[in-house]
């Protein structure tokens, strides 16, 4: 796992990516919000959670799509924007900006991967206003995500992610037993998930969700949460997130001001292996 000086180097590299991301959004009038552990870090630590090794941001679907269209021309040479629609071998749904000059090894899944410093960019999507339709849509989304996870099981699924519930543990056990990649095509699964996520427009929905986040429907909130925002300090800069941080973080984490036990802190299993200082 990445700790100490090496972890801090990774965090600082990701902070530079975040600064460029925010500049692009501000220049083009695009909405974005700190999400998940990054939002928690801003509230509790005014920066990174000390043991965290990534940055998460979310964008309403319309802004997310516009960002995907324009970002390639706005990045420096060493940065790469990765999204499954761009033919760059992306096997997860949400997008990433990576700094290819900062190389890491990810050993959170069954098969180790070489990756780069990154920030994750998630779309925020609408949910049905009708409660019955909302429950049906939840089932559809969960089914699409399960198929996608199984299609990438050995390289993407974090086997030791803290806080997994009983059913998730069972599904992981099944995956380890049956080797499900042989039954699913990743690209087909990505496009099916894309179609499902886009079914209900953000603008028309009372509830919106960051379904691809680690907490799935615990990251579903009334849309008004994202309409009332504030700027939060994060590593000396200020970034936008929901003003009602207590509602968001309580729903996701419970007692969010109390740090977790040490066993649950290092969840990503990342090791810095090289940095190319020439880039």
Burial of 255 (0-12, 13-18, 19+ CB in 10 A): exposed
Q: Is 269 left (phi over 0), alpha (psi -120 to 50) or beta?
A: left
- What is the token pair recorded at 59? 């964008």
Question: Which pLDDT score, from 0 to 100, does residue 217 have?
Answer: 97
Question: Which pLDDT score, from 0 to 100, does residue 262 have?
Answer: 79
Q: Which of 241, 268, 266 is nearest to 252 (CA)?
A: 241
Using CA atoms, how far apart are residues 154 and 134, in angstroms rounded to an integer?
31
Task: Specify the pairing of strand 113-127 against strand 56-60.
Answer: parallel
Angle, to 10 degrees, between the axis of helix 4-28 and the axis of helix 61-70?
100
Place of tokens 């040479």: 77
Question: Digits of tens for pLDDT over the chain (279 positions)?
Answer: 455 788 899 999 999 999 999 999 999 999 999 999 999 999 999 999 999 989 999 999 999 999 999 999 999 999 999 999 987 678 899 999 999 999 988 776 666 778 899 999 999 999 999 999 999 999 999 999 999 988 887 666 565 565 556 666 666 776 666 677 778 899 999 999 999 999 999 999 999 999 999 999 999 999 999 999 999 999 999 999 999 999 999 999 999 999 988 777 766 667 787 665 444
Place of tokens 């994202």: 226
Whole-structure pTM value: 0.88
**Exposure on the CB side of residue 157, measured as CA atoms within 13 A:** 24
Q: Burial letters for 204-224: b for 16+ Cβ neighbours within 10 Å, e otherwise?
A: ebebbbbbbbbebeebbbebe
Distance of CA 187 to the CA centre of its chain: 19
Quote helix, strand, coil % in the chain, to nearest 5. Answer: 45, 20, 30
Using CA atoms, how far apart are residues 141 and 135, in angstroms rounded to an integer?
10
User: Coil, strand or helix: which one is 56?
Assistant: strand
Q: What are phi and psi of 36, to 5 degrees?
A: 50, -135
- Could you state, in order of their start, the residue ranges of all structural domains in the chain? 4-275
Question: Which pLDDT score, from 0 to 100, does residue 277 have?
Answer: 47
- What is the token pair recorded at 122? 């998630």
- What is the token pair recorded at 202? 């953000």
């Amino acid at each position: 796992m990445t700790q100490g000086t090496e972890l801090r180097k990774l965090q600082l590299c990701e902070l530079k990516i975040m600064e460029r991301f925010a500049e692009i959004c501000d220049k083009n009038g695009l909405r974005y919000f700190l999400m998940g552990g990054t939002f928690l870090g801003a509230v509790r630590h005014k920066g990174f959670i000390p043991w965290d090794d990534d940055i998460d941001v979310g964008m309403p679907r319309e802004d997310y799509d516009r960002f995907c269209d324009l970002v390639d021309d706005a990045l420096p040479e060493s940065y790469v924007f990765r999204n499954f629609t761009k033919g760059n071998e992306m096997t997860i749904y949400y997008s990433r900006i990576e700094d290819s000059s900062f190389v890491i090894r990810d050993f959170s899944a069954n098969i180790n991967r070489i990756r780069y410093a990154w920030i994750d960019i998630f779309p925020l999507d609408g949910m049905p206003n009708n409660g019955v339709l909302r429950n049906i849509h939840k089932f559809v989304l969960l089914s699409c995500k399960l198929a996608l996870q199984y299609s990438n099981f050995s390289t993407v699924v974090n086997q030791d992610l803290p806080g997994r519930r009983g059913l998730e543990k069972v599904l992981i056990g099944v995956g380890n037993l049956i080797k499900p990649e042989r039954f699913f095509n990743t690209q087909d699964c990505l496009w099916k998930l894309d179609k499902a996520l886009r079914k209900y427009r953000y603008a028309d929905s009372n509830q919106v969700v960051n379904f691809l986040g680690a907490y799935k429907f615990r990251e579903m909130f009334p849309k008004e949460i994202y309409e009332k925002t504030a700027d939060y300090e994060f590593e000396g800069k200020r970034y936008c997130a929901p003003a009602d941080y207590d509602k968001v973080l309580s729903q996701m984490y419970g007692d969010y001001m109390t740090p977790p036990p040490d066993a649950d802190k290092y969840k990503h299993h990342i090791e810095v292996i090289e940095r190319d200082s020439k880039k």
